[in-house]
Structure 1
Amino acid sequence: MYVILTTKPGQFRTEISDGVVPVESYDYLFYGRNRARFTIAELLKSEARITIVEDEPPQITNSVPSKLFEKFDSLEEARAELETLTHYGSMDIVLKPV
C-alpha cells in the first residue's frame, strides 16, 4: 500500500516514521514558486503512524494513524492521483522529481 505525504515549507513538514518507506518525492512548483513537497511512501505495516510537525513555534507535533490517509494499491495509482491533485487546466504547474 502507498500513501501521499505532504510538506509545505513555512507551515508543516511530514516526517518518515517507523513502518513508512519513502519511494519518491516531488517539489510542487506553482508559477515557479516551490509551494510543497509530495512524497509517495510505501506502508510496510497497516498500523503505521505518520508524524506531522508544524514549522512555527511551538512546533506542535501530531502522530496521525495511516488509516486516515488515502491509500493506493500500486505506485502507478499513487502517481496518477498526484497528477490529478496537482494539475488544473493550463496553469503553470510543475512536479519536479527530487
Structure 2
Amino acid sequence: MNQAMYVILTSKPGQFRTEAVPGVEPVETWEYLFYGRCTATFVIAELSDTQHPLKVRVIDEADKSAEVVNHVPTKFLERFDTLDAARTALQSLAHFGSMDLSLRKQ
C-alpha cells in the first residue's frame, strides 16, 4: 500500500487557478490574506496514488480571450509526508517582517 503524500495547490484570482484531478484529493482550503484582502487560495491535497504519474490542471485566467490549460505533473510539486508538514509549510508563507499577512481556513 502506498503511503499518503500531500501537495499544496495554488490559485490566484484573475491570474490562474489550479484544479485537482482524480488521484489528487483536496483535504483543506486556505485563503491567503494580504492586508485583509484575499490574494491567493491554497488547497492542501492528498496524492492517493504516488506510484503513477498524475497531472493537475492549471488554468490561465489572465487572458480573457482564450482559456489556456496546462497539465502540470505532480512530481514538480513539493511533497509532504504528513498533513501537518503541509500545514507548517503553508503557515511559513504568512510571515514576512511586520506585514499584515494571514491565512484563513475555509
Same fold judged by TM-score > 0.5?
A: yes
Establish whether residue 97 from structure 1 lines up as the match of residue 81 from structure 2.
no
Q: Among 16, 21, 26, which residue is 1:17 paired with?
A: 21
Aligned residue-pair number: 98
Establish whether residue 85 from structure 1 lines up as the match of residue 89 from structure 2.
no
SS at match of 1:18: coil
SS at match of 2:93: helix
Larger Rg: 2
- The residue type paired with residue 50 of structure 1 is V
Runs of 4+ in 1 over 2 A off after TM superposition: none
Alignment correspondent of 1:36: 40
Establish whether residue 49 from structure 1 lines up as the match of residue 55 from structure 2.
yes
Gaps of 5+ in 2: none
SS at match of 2:88: helix
Gaps of 5+ in 1: none
Q: TM-score, normalised by structure 2?
A: 0.88
Q: Deviations over 1:59-96 (max 9, x none)?
A: 21000110000000000000000111232122111101
Q: TM-score, normalised by structure 1?
A: 0.95
Give distance in 1, aligned partners of 2:47 and 2:93: 21
Matched residues, percent identical?
A: 50
- The residue type paired with residue 59 of structure 1 is E
